[in-house]
Amino acid sequence: MNGNKWRRYLSTAMLGIATSPLAPVWAEEAPTMAAGGGDGDSFALRYEQAELVAQVQVTGVHRDVDNALSEPGMVAISGYVYSAVSRRVWKGEATRLVAFRRGLDKCEDKLKKGENYLIFASPDSYGRLQLLSCDAAVAESEAVNLLARLNQ
């Protein structure tokens, strides 16, 4: 896509956001996210919306294959399913083993096996835990401020 087409596409996309019923919400959150890196009200919102808030260590990473889109010789991956061991749970059922998924439509970043994360998971329509955005899994090394808020 050349520069003019991109500008038209972005203008159309921005118009769609501006006319969306959620535009006032996004407009209110933008200064908070820009000024505080998203830790302020974004943290409270993630905590409130999550069914499970836990510190976990990822023990397995599995492909979530979309059989409907897969064809012979081609496998369509819709995301990843993670198995993890919970280290600490602040909200939700305190089980030792946790399974959750994150679709590539929500976030293209893949979590790493053996790494520790702070997760904010919500159930999907089938009751399976899922991460709804890239912000729903924060690497432990980047979660110092969030962990401090949770431990207050």
Any idea what the CATH number is for the domain that residue 77 is in?
2.40.50.120
Q: List beta partners, residue 61.
A: 82
- Mean pLDDT in residue range 82-90: 96
How would you class 13 by CB atoms within 10 Å of its CB: exposed for 0-12, middle for 13-18, buried for 19 or more? exposed
Residues in the chain: 152
* Number of domains, the chain: 2
pLDDT (0 to 100) of residue 67? 87
pLDDT grade for 93, boundaries at 50, 70 and 90: confident
Same domain for 12 and 79, yes or no, is: no
Q: pLDDT at position 152, please? A: 86
Mean pLDDT of 134-140: 95
User: Both 144 and 103 in a single domain?
Assistant: yes
In this structure, the answer to whether residues 9 and 51 fall within a common structural domain is no
The closest alpha carbon to 61, from 114, 2, 127, belongs to 114
Range of the structural domain that residue 10 is part of: 3-36
- Return the structure tokens found at 28: 């209110």
Whether pTM exceeds 0.75? no
Claim to verify: residue 26 and residue 60 sit in the same structural domain = no
Question: Domain check: are 69 and 16 in the same one?
Answer: no
The per-residue pLDDT for range 24-83, each reduced to its tens digit, is 333 333 333 333 344 456 888 999 999 999 999 999 999 999 988 889 999 999 999 999
